[in-house]
Amino acid sequence: MAVTINDLQKVRIDIAVTDAEGNPAAIEGSPQWAIDNVEVATLELAEGGLSAEVISTGALGQATLTVSADADLGEGIKTIQGDLLIDVVASEATGVTLTAGEPGLR
């Protein structure tokens, strides 16, 4: 799955933890969020850790958002993970720049 935003936008991402049948399931502790390309986007976590805002930094490109959690409700650790591709594209044009070359003889 992927989400596309422009270089001036942010997007809220919510997670839902489910079991094999798609029913809501519990996790141990708070989920861990990471983004692999902070030159393209950054994260601002919401309280509780079940949502965050992905905020474009102004650069164009792609970043992968990863959320991992501990599914073992006991003393062990069983990591589950979800990934989302963030594609940051250029926003609407707002101006035109003219550049002159070197003058020459006619």
Spacing of C-alpha 92 from chain mean position:
21
Say what the pLDDT of residue 48 is: 85
Q: Is the pLDDT of residue 75 over 90?
A: no
The 10s digit of each residue's pLDDT in 6-51 is 999 999 999 999 999 999 999 998 999 999 999 999 999 998 899 9
Ramachandran angles phi, psi of 17, nearest 5°: -100, 125
94 CB contacts (<8 Å, ≥6 apart)?
none
Could you tell me the two tokens for 23? 């029913």
CA atoms within 13 A on the CB side of 61: 13
- How high does pLDDT run on average in the chain? 95
8 CB contacts (<8 Å, ≥6 apart)?
56, 58, 91
For the chain, domain boundaries:
2-89
Structure pTM? 0.85
CATH architecture of the domain with residue range 2-89:
Sandwich (2.60)
Q: Is the pLDDT of residue 1 over 90?
A: no
